[in-house]
Every structure is written in C-alpha cells, then in structure tokens.
A and B are shown apart, each in its own frame.
Chain A
Amino acid sequence: MPALPRDIAVVAFAQSDHVADSHEVSEAEMVMPVLHDVLDRTGLKARDIGFTCSGSSDYLAGRAFSFTMALDAVGAWPPISESHVETDGAWALYEAWVALLTGEADTALVYAYGKSSPGDLRAVLTRQLDPYYLAPLWPDSVALAALQAQALLDAGLTCEDELAAVATRSRAAAADNPHAPLRGPRPQGDHVVAPLRRGDCAPVGDGAAAVILAAGDRARALCGRPAWIRGIDHRVEAHSLGVRDLTASPSTRLAADRAGAFDRPVDLAELHAPFTSQEIVLRRALRLGDGVTVNPSGGALAANPVMATGLIRIGEAAARIQRGESGRALAHATSGPCLQQNLVAVLEGES
C-alpha cells in the first residue's frame, strides 16, 4: 500500500446484543443505544462528528429507504454530512476512511444494523443474484455455500470433521462474548443443504454495531491506544459463480496484499465467514498460520446481525488492539454469495 496522506484509527467500537428476533424495537430504537455507547467511549457528541456513514439493506426490512428512519437515532437535523451503503457496514467504514483521508473531516461515525427477523433471509438474499440466470431459480444462500463446501471436500481441502471443529472452536470462543446468541459448543445437527449442517451455518439475527474513526492527533486524544488502519482494500470475484474456482478467494488474497497484510505477520484475525467452509477458504487466501488467533469473538458463527457482521469484525479486532491484546490484527468482511466481495483491513497499535 502506498504511503497514506494521514494516519486514521478506530478509536471506539460498540455493538448491541444480537438476538434472533427484535420485533419489539424499530431500527432507530435498536441503533440508538449503540450510537450513544460508542460516542460515550470517546466523549464526543453527535454534533462533533465530521462525517457519518451507515450500512444496511432495504431488502432485510422490506421497506424502501429504511436507513433514513434509522438516521433519526443519529440526530441528523439540521442536516449533517452523511452517506449510506446498501451493504455491510465494513464498506461504510471504507467510505468514511476515504473521507477522512481527503482531510474533509477529522472524525467519522460508522454504523451498521440489520433486522433479518421480519423476513426470510435465505429468500431475501436470492434477490442479490444475477437476475437473468440465477434469481429465477431462487438458489438460497445456504445452497450456494453448500456448493462451495462440496467443492472444497472434493478437492481434499477440508473434511467434515474439520468443518465441525471450526464450528466448535467459534462457539467456544464466544463463551466470553456477551453479545453473541450462540455461546458455547453445540451439536452439528442435520444437513440444511448437504454437506452443510445446521452447525456449519451462522445464526441469523438482528443487531447493530458502530465504530468511530479519527485522524492523527485527534485519534490519540480520543483513545489511549488507537487501532491504526495501516491498510484497507476491497475486491470482487468474477460475477458468475460457474466462472469462479469456488475453493479459492483470489479477491481476498488481492485485497490483503493491497492492504499490506503480507508485509509482516499478524497475531490475530477476525474473519467474516458465515459458513465454516468459508473460514477454510479465507485462511488459505490470507495465508494464516497456526500462530494466528482466529475469531476470538466467535465470529459470524456465534453472532450474525446481517449487514453489521463485517463491521463487527473490524470493531472486534480494533477493540483487542485498544486493550493491548493484539499488536497487529487483520479484519475481513464479505458480501454476496460464496465470498463474492471481500474487504481486508490491517490494524496496528503503537508500541
């Protein structure tokens, strides 16, 4: 990655408890406590923030421009400098990072939320697929991930026991994550779409997360040990599933390379893998050795508020740097079928 014009860091992270069904609260009611939490951690008020960017999807809510309702929770009147991405909040963080690099703002509030409970996520996600060749067949998200898992099994790159071990390790790690709905190991269960079993799939839940970014000395003033973003990049695979080698993730490899992930080893990685099999793909793409702690939060397999899960990976990695538990961490976020789009960020603490 070329030298950056400014140093930008994650200075605060907050998230809600992630639940299977949040029907008692609106999006604004769900998001607001998380925004207050993340602002409180820095002492900033909403009015102090230079740029605000959010990630969510109308298709989860079943309502057009649903993000404008959630904006009520920010206090967006009189008008603030604000933007939105219709995908995971990790991409909102990318936009905010670019905005801070330009010098237009010194601080940014990034938040993401998802309420999957109103709809049927497996059906909803079919609507993001190619509308000519795929969407008319309604291939659901688990089915597509299962095709990828079978390709890995056929290639001898994993086995069912290894997939089960990923599930067990993730949920055991989540025992220490008070926000996760799945804490502690559980049985792998029946096939949802074979070869993927219930335990191989992330839970589908509702929740929100928020991050504050700050530049240079502003970051040092707001946080004892900022998590500096040394590099961040996102890349996409070829459009058609049948064109791709589903056992590999060249876009993750390229994004990691551009983000500087291979310049020096990381000690921790938060990977956005909604299926156990996708962790196998990501570990290979990112060349993560056994010495790297993967998903100490439990990852997406323990808590999966869709559209916030990727942003939470960056937040969790940053929080561990802030607490001095990691010196150099990698965070990954994904979007689309079978790891279609991938974002990689490299975060460091100052020694």
Chain B
Amino acid sequence: MPEVTPEPTAPPAEPEEALTAPLVVEFPFTRSLGPVRGAFLTGLRERTVLGIKATDGRTVVPPTEYDPDTGAELRDLVEVAPTGTVTTWAWNPSPRRGQPLATPFAWVLVRLDGADTALLHALDVSGPDAVRTGMRVRIRWAAERTGAVTDIACFTPDDGPTPEPAEPAAHSGEFDDPVIGITAPARLDYTYAPGRAQSRYLRALGERRTLGERCPSCRKIYVPPRGACPTCGIATAEQAEVGPRGTVTTFCIVNIKARNLDIEVPYVYAHIALDGAGLPLHARIGGIPYDQVRMGLRVEPVWRDGSRYPDHYRPTGEPDADYDSYKELI
C-alpha cells in the first residue's frame, strides 16, 4: 500500500463515542508501458488510435500485449478510426471526482471503426434520450495530450456516414519521442475509526496517561490496546495504566530522513516496554546521543504543549534495567 497521510485525531464530541479522523490516501502510480500500451498511448497523443491483431484475427482496441483468449503474445499493430459505434451505455446523472466530464454524461463502450472490441469512455450528450446503442460517435481529443487514455477527452455524437467494414492498415507503432511510462495519481478519502479500545487509549493519551488493556485469561496488559489478546483471541476490556517510565528492549538507528518528518538524522527508534506492559510499543529516543542508546536504557515520555501523544522518550537517569527483567518482551 502506498504512502498514507494521517491527519490529527479529532477531539471527542462525547466522552464515550469512538473517535474518528479524516484519512487521505494519495499515491502517484508510476508504471512503465511496454511496446504495445506505449504505442497506443503515444498514438493518442498524436491523435492516432492503434489496435492489435489477436490470434483469431480480431482487432483488439485498446490493445493488449497478449491474446484475450489464449494469452499468446501479440505484436501486429494496426490503425483504426476515431469514429465508431456505441455497443452499450449507461447514463451517469451525478459525475464523480476524476471522471472524464463534470456535467452529466453517458458511459459508453465504443467499437471504433476497424476494431472488433470496445473501448470504455464518456459520451458528451445533453441527456439519456440522446443516447442509444448503435449510435455513431467520434473522439473529441483533449487540447493538451500527454500520452494517456485521458488524451481522449470524451466521445461526441457523429452524423457522418457509417463506413463500409474494412481491414485496418498495419502500423509500425513507432512515433517520435515515445511515451514509455505513465504516472496515474490517485486519491481516496476515508474516515478512519480506530474502534473502542484504541479510542479509550487515545483519549487517555490526550490526558498524558498511557492506558493498556488486560487480557482476562493470560493477564498480560497490551498497549496500545486493539481490543483483543493476540495470544488468547479474546476481548480485553479491563483498562490498566502503564508507565510512564519504561525500558528500551531493542532499537535501531535511522540514517535516512523521512519525507514530511522534521527530525535530524541519525536518530534512534526503539521498542520500549513501559513499566507494567505485556509488550513493547515503539517511539523515538531523544535527549541522548544516538550512539549511546542501549538495551536496558530506562526512559520516560517527553510531552510538547498541546500535543496528544509523547513527542519522544528520553533517559530517566536511573540505572539500566537488568536483561532478565525485559528479555521476554524483546
């Protein structure tokens, strides 16, 4: 899963309500195209529509590198017309984000003249009464074309004559400055809800308390709690405060700066067993040179004003914990 940008958890509306927060997942998918899809998308940039001959002689548009039935490799490109026939349609009264047109339109599958298969796109017409299966349509090219399926802005009705069926002409697929990859941005919006146990944990954390939950069977205290004991598979419901101090059980040194994170490298990220907790949580260690952090180091949370979670953990100055006291938690 690509990069996730969490936003701050909303303050509680009601004390017992489970928390929710907006969560935006955005990712630019960068994909290489290969010879067939690359030729097709470069062709669109040049207002040329290419298809490919399948094993059974059909012309497949948009083209794939493999036969749709047998999977055999295909390589014989042909050029088809920018006009075609609607094979099925659907009226979209409420266009959604990212779709080809912002005003109501028809989704259409169009068999371009010369093709034997259909291409999905939008048809710009005034209303559903202006669409029917079998109607003639023509590509409206986008003003700015980059080598993407959106170089076809949409289809529009075409009142020209229907051409006689003809075998499409071969095409080399070669263009100047071929497109070899696309970047397809995507954004999905969520309302993240962490559930009951984590809501209780996050609320307590806002009060600078670390609230775990105890398994009724094995008696371990889980923090952060997720509502279940992963060993026993039963619900944890009894809350128990742990920490605030804890012990570094293991750690790593981070040498590469993360995007959107304003922390100087190198720094230490550690597993910390809070006093009383049945498994460690992880956090950054500060207030000590990175090369002096060690297993067994005793640490405590450092809070910043207005923050709902510890910024980092720092040494308490206590003697290091004995290995036997935390070895079960590594």
- Which residues does A use to contact B, with CB under 8 Å? 22-29, 32, 35-36, 46, 58-59, 61-65, 69, 71-78, 117-120, 122-124, 126-127, 131-140, 143-144, 146-151, 154, 191, 193-196, 238-243, 246
For residue B60, which residues in chain A have a CB less than 8 angstroms away from its CB?
A: 240, 243
Which residue of chain B has its CB nearest to the CB of A123? B188
On whether A28 and B195 interact (CB within 8 A), knowing A64-B4, A76-B230, the answer reads: yes
Residue among B60, B118, B148 having the largest count of chain A Cβ atoms under 10 Å: B118
Q: Assess whether A63 is in contact with B18, with CB atoms less than 8 Å apart.
A: no
From B97, B149, B234, contact of A132 by CB (8 A)? B149
For residue A117, which residues in chain B have a CB less than 8 angstroms away from its CB?
A: 191, 193
On whether A242 and B117 interact (CB within 8 A), knowing A69-B226, A122-B96, A133-B62, the answer reads: yes
From A78, A133, A154, A196, contact of B120 by CB (8 A)? A133
For B28-58 the 0/1 string (1 means CB < 8 A from A) is 0101010001000100000000000000000
For residue B172, which residues in chain A have a CB less than 8 angstroms away from its CB?
A: none
Q: Assess whether A132 is in contact with B196, with CB atoms less than 8 Å apart.
A: no
Q: Report the Cα distance A26→B198, complex, angstroms.
A: 8
On whether A140 and B233 interact (CB within 8 A), knowing A127-B186, A239-B64, the answer reads: no
On whether A123 and B97 interact (CB within 8 A), knowing A28-B195, A75-B234, A150-B89, the answer reads: yes
Residue among B1, B120, B188 having the largest count of chain A Cβ atoms under 10 Å: B120
For residue B231, which residues in chain A have a CB less than 8 angstroms away from its CB?
A: 75, 77-78
On whether A120 and B188 interact (CB within 8 A), knowing A242-B118, A243-B68, the answer reads: yes
Q: Assess whether A135 is in contact with B88, with CB atoms less than 8 Å apart.
A: no
Please count the residue pairs between chain A and chain B whose beta carbons lie under 8 angstroms apart in the complex. Answer: 207
For residue A144, which residues in chain B have a CB less than 8 angstroms away from its CB?
A: 107
On whether A194 and B191 interact (CB within 8 A), knowing A58-B1, A136-B149, the answer reads: no
For residue A29, which residues in chain B have a CB less than 8 angstroms away from its CB?
A: 195-197, 227-228, 235
B298 within 8 A of A: no
Q: Assess whether B198 is in contact with A127, with CB atoms less than 8 Å apart.
A: no
A-B contact list, 14 entries, CB within 8 Å: A29-B197, A32-B228, A118-B190, A119-B191, A123-B189, A138-B98, A146-B90, A147-B90, A147-B107, A150-B89, A154-B88, A193-B91, A193-B92, A241-B118
From A25, A71, A154, A239, contact of B195 by CB (8 A)? A25
From A23, A137, A138, A194, contact of B193 by CB (8 A)? A23
Q: Assess whether B62 is in contact with A32, with CB atoms less than 8 Å apart.
A: no
On whether A32 and B69 interact (CB within 8 A), knowing A118-B190, A139-B120, the answer reads: no
Q: Assess whether A26 is in contact with B133, with CB atoms less than 8 Å apart.
A: no
Interface residues of B, count at CB 8 A: 68
Which DSSP category, helix, strand, loop or mixed, fits chain B's interface? Answer: mixed
Q: Assess whether B121 is in contact with A137, with CB atoms less than 8 Å apart.
A: yes
Q: Report the Cα distance A243→B109, complex, angstroms.
A: 10
On whether A136 and B90 interact (CB within 8 A), knowing A62-B23, A123-B188, A241-B120, the answer reads: no
Q: Assess whether B228 is in contact with A73, with CB atoms less than 8 Å apart.
A: yes
A212 to chain B minimum Cβ distance, whole angstroms, is: 14
A271 to chain B minimum Cβ distance, whole angstroms, is: 22
From A46, A194, A196, contact of B128 by CB (8 A)? A194
B44 to chain A minimum Cβ distance, whole angstroms, is: 10
Which residue of chain A has its CB nearest to the CB of B100? A137
B303 within 8 A of A: no
Residue among A35, A65, A119 having the largest count of chain B Cβ atoms under 10 Å: A119
Which residue of chain A has its CB nearest to the CB of B95? A138
Q: Assess whether A242 is in contact with B197, with CB atoms less than 8 Å apart.
A: no
For residue B232, which residues in chain A have a CB less than 8 angstroms away from its CB?
A: 75
